[in-house]
Amino acid sequence: MAYTKRFDGRGFEEIRKMSAEVGIISRAKGSARFQIGDTIAIAAVHGPRELHPRFLRKPDKGVLRCDYDMVSFSVSERKRPGSSRRSMEISHVTGKSIEPVLDLSKYPNTVIDVFITIPQANAGTRCAGICAASLALADAGIPMKDLVVAISVGKAGDKVVMDLTKEEEDHAEGATDIPVAMTPRNGEYTLLQLDGDISKDELKEALVLAKKGCDEIYTLMQKTLRDSFKEKK
């Protein structure tokens, strides 16, 4: 079935309205808030600090540990409080997405904890969480080769689209969700997942769209950090 108009009226290649800020949690080493549409992610960094138990320590570098969670009232159907298989999986892929840009050799035997909370959700939560975590780590002054930027692309009906909403995921015929994270400076992917069916040519089209979306988010994230650094001087 032809998908001729998006539920929220956006163009097929149009990203939702975004905002970002850093330094929002005074007791954290670094923190950030990233919002895309109705999805909000808040990240806080603690550490580097001594890692316990001792057998988990690495003598040559630090350990990045991410914890992702959606609060119970973040979605229309109340989420059960506490950790779930989904939150554990997203915590894992978030850490794997961000770790390649970090220089953890400066922090042997320590851990850097990143806590990501989703207080409001309308699809794309893992991507928003990655963006918030990347900003929070930069705000914390952790050495980074680049920021990691993430966006969800995919297919709704017969159209390849940018930044799917929950309504599209649930009600657009043949919806396919593809979370993508990358380092815009060199164009390398740090996350690529796929939930649904899509042809090879459509996947190529979606990845081109993801690069476009990540570049747009990257511009916002860079501006957010520059403005913050200026305020601190």
- 122 pLDDT higher than 70: yes
- 82 pLDDT higher than 90: no
Q: Is residue 188 part of a domain?
A: yes
The per-residue pLDDT for 81 is 66
78 pLDDT band, cuts 50/70/90, is low
Is residue 118 a contact partner of residue 75, using CB atoms and an 8 Å limit? no
Q: Is residue 203 part of a domain?
A: yes
Domain of residue 91 covers 18-232
Strands in 81-211 per DSSP E: 110-120, 149-156, 159-162, 176-183, 188-192
Counting the structural domains of the chain, the total is 1
Q: Is residue 190 part of a domain?
A: yes
Q: Is residue 8 part of a domain?
A: no
Q: pTM to 2 decimals?
A: 0.93
Q: What is the CATH number of the domain that holds 227?
A: 3.30.230.70
- 63 pLDDT higher than 60: yes
